[in-house]
Amino acid sequence: MRTMTVAVLFIFSVFGAQLLRLQGFDASGVSQTAASKRLGTIVYPAMRGSIVDRNGTILASSVERRTVTVDQTAVTKYVKPVNGVRAVVGVAGAAKDLSPLLGIPVDTLVTNLTGTSRYRVLAKNVTPLNWRKISELGINGIYSEATTDRNYPTSTAAASLVGFVQSDGSPGGGLEVLMNSTLKGKAGKTMFEQSQDGRAIPNARQETIPSVPGKDVKLTIDSDLQWFAQNAVAQKVIETKALSGTVVVTNVKTGELLAVASYPTFDPNQPGQSTENWTNKAFNDVYEPGSTGKVMTAAAAIEEGAITPSTVVEVPNRIHRSGTEFKDSHDHPTEYLTFAGVLAQSSNIGTILAGEKVKATTMYSYFKKFGLGATSGMGFPGEGPGLLTNVKDWNGSQRYTVLFGQGLSVNALQAAGVFQTIANDGVRIPPRIVAATSDGHGNYTPVEKAKGIRVVSPETAKEVRDMLEGVVGKEGTAPEAKIPGYRVAGKTGTADRYDAKVGGYSGKTASFIGFAPADDPEIVVAVTLQRPIKGYFGGAVAGPVFKDVMTYALQELQVPPTGTKPPVVKIKADPTPDPSDPSVVRDKASSAARAGH
């Protein structure tokens, strides 16, 4: 008896201690645990902010949608009037009533409604109007969850630029990723007490935290110009059987991107159908620019006082540097061109002869100031800095190839930025694409503008602009780029294209970059096509696209012709200079060989 009494007292003391712990020391924690088990939570996704162009045209927006779910165990109790008498119609009746509203065959719905699952998704992206009709049916076990659907009205026209949203609501590329923190907002939720079967307990405690919608983002892009540029480059890529193409349109004085077209593209409303085209090639693809890069060499040589536009250059058929033979795009006898003529006729040899008069370290510093070897600073997903090897690591031939745009790599934005600098009196303005963000009440706060960087003097920029007008002249390489009524300046580019897949050069990169009006520049248009097959010279392939896009841009932005006459650009020396004339830039090795002969 004593033993049993001690045992009973011991057991009761344990129970007492546990009761004291639960109701005394751990009362708060136990209460919270119990509450959490009977609390249900419904999450309300935040409405994602819109992306609009400079004029307020919607490029991306979110709309309210519903995900319809079912508790299969409850559908069997569905009751509705049949011939004036309420009757249990169950799964068959529910499937018949839901089919026209969900757009799902009756047989499929019968399968989805039958079973013991307490939760199953029937349909996604159901409109609020359709859900209201479904709810009014009063079918047991049919519920809905609030969600949103992202819509892109311009479809493929700005797909790789704007980006897309994935099925789980996360951003999948482009500006959707770049501006996600601004666009996404904050989800809300409702917490309620629920019974064992998961239903809300009437009149029980309930707390709702409303969602906070995301803020809108306004771009510098002009939607109409973006659409036109996208279609223009797409047509040319298809026509020439090119691998890809880009068009970049920039405001000269502000650096604002007015259009960034990339083809091939995809439909952001159904992004899974073409995953390989998600990236915007104007930001992501890097390539050797070829002759458009000669503009940097010309500007540096003039700025350093090594040469002038009227300086005569003796251009032989071949020159040799560092064990490498260099030539122009075609064979020719020895020519005497002005430096303006060298640029107009895109002579590699003439560019080398002028560019080597500037120290390699100095030329490298100009490349850096023009923005090569660094990203734009916008933070666009996947944007590459290009490739600019440090001057200390240049090999023998690279010292000369960089002068005519080979041996270094850029993306389309950097290439356009070189011409924006020359058009803007020698001041480079880093490009920008986001103009402002909303405060959620209809007002926009402008994004801070980047400061300009002086690269060359206004006088040098003016001389290079005049030289570039000669490119579209009758003796230049791109007369196809002329626009009636406007003065146009620009440069062709036809470069060997490096293909990492084959580990060497394969095909060509054809480009034309220019600005207008040449005497008071407003707009830069850069057109680049990768590996075109049916024609590959920049003037013939990219020049017509430039002309079409620039013509549309001038009209869209209401830029009037200036009415001034273009300068007379002298291309060839007349008469032929004396062989002993010290003012003529010559290849010393070739001159010595002729003297010895």
Domain boundaries defined on the chain: 42-194+203-215, 223-588
pLDDT of residue 62: 93
pLDDT of residue 459: 97
Question: Of 264-268, 504-508, 554-558, where does mean pLDDT reach its minimum?
Answer: 504-508
- Write out the CATH class of domain 223-588: alpha beta
Cα separation, 464 vs 482, whole angstroms:
18
Q: Is 291 a catalytic residue?
A: yes
CA atoms within 13 A on the CB side of 556: 22
Task: Provide mean pLDDT across the span 144-169.
Answer: 91
Q: Do domains 42-194+203-215 and 223-588 have the same CATH topology?
A: no
Q: Which residues contact 391 (CB under 8 A, 6 or more apart)?
A: 360, 361, 363, 364
Cα separation, 421 vs 402, whole angstroms:
19
Which two three-digit tokens encode residue 235? 């047509």
pLDDT digits (tens, 9 = 90+) for 369-412: 999 999 999 999 999 899 999 999 998 899 999 999 999 999 99
pLDDT of residue 597: 45
pLDDT of residue 59: 97
Choosing from 61, 144, 291, 409, the catalytic residue is 291
pTM of this prediction? 0.85
pLDDT digits (tens, 9 = 90+) for 435-459: 999 987 778 999 998 899 999 999 9
CB atoms under 10 Å from CB of 320, counted, come to: 11
pLDDT beyond 90 at 32: no
Question: Of 56-60, 105-109, 147-151, 297-301, where does mean pLDDT reach its minimum?
Answer: 147-151
CB 370 within 8 A of CB 418: yes
pLDDT digits (tens, 9 = 90+) for 311-348: 999 999 999 999 999 999 899 999 999 999 999 999 99
Was domain 42-194+203-215 assigned CATH 3.50.30.40?
Answer: no
Residue 280 is inside which H or E element, if any? none
pLDDT of residue 581: 87
Beta-strand relationship, 58-70 and 79-82: unpaired
**DSSP per-residue letters across 176-213:** HHHTHHHHS-B-EEEEEEB-TTSPBPTT--EEEE--BP
